[in-house]
Chain A
């Protein structure tokens, strides 16, 4: 690949990394983690929507850590962001909270900064799933709780903590324990006449006479209001029903319309039927322009559901035998609206009159709908706490796109590895493929998806084996799980090189930077083979140290893991305290001079993978009998000096870059091939000469 395009690509990479860093969240320091989530040993990346990081103890997920401004965009009294770091345990209690950022004018609050910080921290232990409770008013009731000195902005912070926690709890499946979780029985069907449906409450009604409406409007206006309907006329006689249960919808709509309009809805979608007589139209005309009905809305608990024109189905008449209505509409409430058909809801009707000054006067009326209890079934018991199996399935569904991309990349890599012999003939193509793959590994896998396999994975795996292994714990991170599975199989086939040379984002970063360095004519240094062999042993010592310390996961073990710069350079995109950044940059600087110095001499993960590499079942890399004996070209060109002077390839060091394999077929470089070709050419030249001599004059 031409030097210039390499340069362009790498500068684009660096620009990308910079942009990514700018948007990256502030680092969660160990100190903050300990404060906001006592008992957590480590933290996954902040990800998902709303964004949160999973907190782990030694072996498993124990909750989530998140920032209120990320989750709910919390704003303070000042109109500026308020940001609170919150830890939420899987049982719905707050593990801790800390005020990170605020811009509240302290004079308005009348309280000092330390008080605010204490107030926020005091939320530890609160159970966000606790239902609304009332307490018996005390004997000395009437003690003025409202002037207890609680100031407003601190309550805004309380709201931010609770609302962000509830949002995370909802999105991560920390369900509110429901005593009697019910689902709607959609299928049961018997013929029912209108009076029976009304009597059961399957159809709810609100009847307004002109004078009812006028009175309310005039009360609001504080003066006379005119409406289109005379005082004693029927303003509206409005009926509402949940149309999805066959017992209601099929009876009301008739078999055909029910089959056409209601049956095709998804399991979690519902439809509400509204029908009315009277002078006032509940649909109005505004929806044709705005796409939203402006006279009716459905309210359920803390949700206001607007009825959309796109979910509206016009219906001319109900089933034979049902009353006739001037206006009928079926409104689909998709699952995404959050509508819970089993819970009560109400219809709110906006009415409009005209004041003296010609301006509109509004009022609204509401009536409630409760599904007849006979149409509710007890749902399967909802587990009280989080169900890990459900959680990992959820995670896999949420990350389907990433999983697909990674799978495609792994398939491509597998094909490359199996076709290595063929591809080695086409070194230009192969080098381009490899360059592209490294860019992908660094940018997408590393910086974007933060799927950097780390020695920590080995430590936690060992811990899990010792303390009780659970698949779901490892399945919670799909990309790392897939990578590990692939690497484990690849170890048996090819050795550690498949990971180190192809799938390690930090490895890719070092290799790309080294290429850049060469293009910029930075002088490189190649240790002597003897020195190289001595240094290569260091990484095994590092690994054994980290591993031994990890057997009882101490802070020290977690600190030694920092010998890996992966977290700094990949997962956090250099957005960490400066000593870490300095260390990572120093390693990269050394890597400019000594190719992949970190991989070869320090990386504990590389060491851990090298140990079982001895188990591999196949020998793929081709050698000639002259290799080592009379020729050192491959050895001298091997980027990681994995080729022993005696010619054999050390699988503990090889990164499967296939340099030597391309040389193997390169008749212009490989001395034995060159020699053979020269011999052949000499022979054919001699032959030609002889032939020429024979045909000569």
Chain B
């Protein structure tokens, strides 16, 4: 042991390599992190927002589902709550309709008018839509209700995405 003494030169070499190594790592780490950041981000689920509704709560009757997300509008960040009418169609596929009337943008309600069962009703100008979102001719709306892209997360929670034109109405 005693004849394997560390010389002054060796000691300085070790310590300087060690300290230099830490400094180099400190500089490189953030750079590497920045470089691979896009790869990590892509897994974060895109634009889908998780709602508070589980898949097995959804029946074939349209139910109101509220969901909240943060919206940045220029310098102003606000929490926005949106609503969807969600049900399962005949084949068990989830349909999430936007409640925004295609006439002038009021909020429509499922069976909002007791005289029109099984229809979405717009209280502003008596617009009517069928369950699929198809507008009833003779009422003010000129197009079917839009829909949200919908999917179910791995743990069985409903997730809603961007608004798209209605795809189930032919």
Is B a genuine binding partner of A? no
Interface residues of A (CB under 8 A from B): none
